Structure 1
Amino acid sequence: MEYTIQVLIVEDDKRIAEINRRFVEKVEGYKVVGIATNEQEGKELIEVLQPDLVLLDIYFPDMNGIQFLKWIREHFANIDIIMITAAREIDTLKQAMHGGVFDYIIKPIMLDRFTETLVKYKEYFYKMHELMKEKELIGQEEIDQLIRRERTFGDADGELPKGIHRLTLEKVLAVVKQYRDGITAEEVGKLIGASRTTSRRYLEYLVSISQVTADILYGSVGRPERIYKLKR
């Protein structure tokens, strides 16, 4: 059974915290294990729960999120952080990036943008843990897959062929990665809530860019089916 990523939300506005919780739990593989609304609660919950990921605001009545980020880095270096904030100052962004945040999302949150980040983070999280279990040394190609996660399919939908959208493409690829023995377009469509035709279009695009391979499966009844697998 696949590990569920444990998330702590640190946000002083309870209404926004609840919205963020619902957004997170719409994405398979995540669970919100706590919500903190101030510095004391945040530190206590991090110490007790030690989550995998913290969603952190910057503006609080009793603290600054950047300072809280530094505290997390000092005491819990393995916890990942996504900033979710109204702060638009370039210096604040720079400090957050120096603190090693996975992403920096401006409020108000757009669901598609947030979901895109969570899909990317989940892929990064599983890949990192898989590598840590399998080996001590890592190659350049694997490093590039981890660090250049936003460039896998280009930085914007405009760089993709017409009818191919990055978020859907990443969902399709994430499904294929889970089925090492292969999966059909129809099965992918059911899992992502799309038609067989749509899922096949995305799968064939992944084949064309050498991310996925396609084989023909000849069943005892009916027409042959294309089986898609992650390229090794």
Structure 2
Amino acid sequence: MTKISVFIVEDDPMVLDVNKGFLEKMTGFTFIGAAANGKDALLQIKKLKPNLVLLDMYLPDISGLDILVELRSARVPCDVVMITAARDAITIQEMMRLGAVDYLVKPFRFERFQKSLQDYYKMAKKIGGLNQLRQEDIDEWLGSTGNSVSLPKGLNELTMKQIMLGLVGEALPVTAEQLAQNVGMARVTVRKYLDFLAVKEKVHIEMQYGNVGRPTRFYSLK
């Protein structure tokens, strides 16, 4: 396939230069433009129709969320990776519901940026060559970005992504019951995924002992 065209929306010139530098280190991608505000971004994205948009949340005029809503409403055929300092669970979940393929929280290292775009390239290349997708293709696409944990049989990529997103927005450690309420799942399901993540050293467990009964487990991202 031809190179994937990338458009960057970022109002900080230094951050823009860093992201452009990261992009230039990678093969298979070509930078086609940038915008420092939402109005210009929408005009240029609709005109250029890039394959992929690297989109900041906080802009001088409108938010990245507003831009993504407008792009989806106008059915602009582009994918979006969010690159922002926003960490609250509500914002992240809303972005994912609107179809963002990944969410990079500033500051991040080149390795995380590289993984995100490599995963995107791999699946864009694969899907671009198919007329119809198998269930395995769909599952691989939906679970390919943002989560480097290899799951055993019985655990689901999409459920894992929801739980990880729920943890991202928590400023303090939470119990499995609290997180289950926040993400709308059963406590026993959330507990199973959290304990697996703890074994993989992706989640930290803090035991708090009361006067009676078993200690309470509190979970947080490492």
Deviations 1:48-107 (A, max 9, x none): 211000000011121111111101111134210000000011111011111110100000
Deviations 1:9-68 (A, max 9, x none): 001111111110110121100011001001221012112211000000011121111111
Counterpart amino acid of residue 146 in structure 1: W
Any idea what SS the aligned residue of 1:149 has?
coil
In 2, the alpha carbon distance for the partners of 1:49 and 1:151 equals: 27
Tell me what 2:9 maps to.
10
How far is 1:150 from its partner?
A: 4.7
8 Å Cα contact 2:10-2:34 kept in structure 1: yes
Counterpart amino acid of residue 149 in structure 2: D
Counterpart amino acid of residue 144 in structure 2: R
How far is 1:140 from its partner?
A: 1.8
- Structure 1 stretches of 4+ moved >3 Å: none
User: Pairwise mapping of residues 117-136 of structure 1 onto structure 2 (< 5 A)?
Assistant: 117-131=116-130, 135=131
Tell me what 2:149 maps to.
155
Tell me what 2:141 maps to.
146
CA separation of 1:117 and 1:151: change in aligned 2, threshold 3 A: closer
Can you give the 5+ residue segments of structure 1 that lack an aligned partner in the other structure? 160-232
In 2, the alpha carbon distance for the partners of 1:38 and 1:118 equals: 23
Q: TM-score, normalised by structure 2?
A: 0.64
Deviations 1:139-187 (A, max 9, x none): 22222232232599x616xx9xxxxxxxxxxxxxxxxxxxxxxxxxxxx
In 2, the alpha carbon distance for the partners of 1:47 and 1:139 equals: 31
In 2, the alpha carbon distance for the partners of 1:76 and 1:26 equals: 30
Any idea what SS the aligned residue of 2:129 has?
helix
CA separation of 1:36 and 1:110: change in aligned 2, threshold 3 A: same
Any idea what SS the aligned residue of 2:11 has?
coil
In 1, the alpha carbon distance for the partners of 2:112 and 2:11 equals: 22
Tell me what 1:60 maps to.
59
In 2, the alpha carbon distance for the partners of 1:150 and 1:5 equals: 17
In 2, the alpha carbon distance for the partners of 1:150 and 1:37 equals: 26
In 2, the alpha carbon distance for the partners of 1:106 and 1:145 equals: 23
CA separation of 1:126 and 1:59: change in aligned 2, threshold 3 A: same
Q: Does 1:107 align with 2:106?
A: yes
In 1, the alpha carbon distance for the partners of 2:104 and 2:145 equals: 14
CA separation of 1:149 and 1:67: change in aligned 2, threshold 3 A: same
CA RMSD of aligned residues (A): 2.1
Structure with greater contact order relative to length (CA < 8 Å, sep ≥ 6): 2
Can you give the 5+ residue segments of structure 2 that lack an aligned partner in the other structure? 153-222
Q: Does 1:30 align with 2:24?
A: no
8 Å Cα contact 2:46-2:76 kept in structure 1: no
Counterpart amino acid of residue 141 in structure 1: E
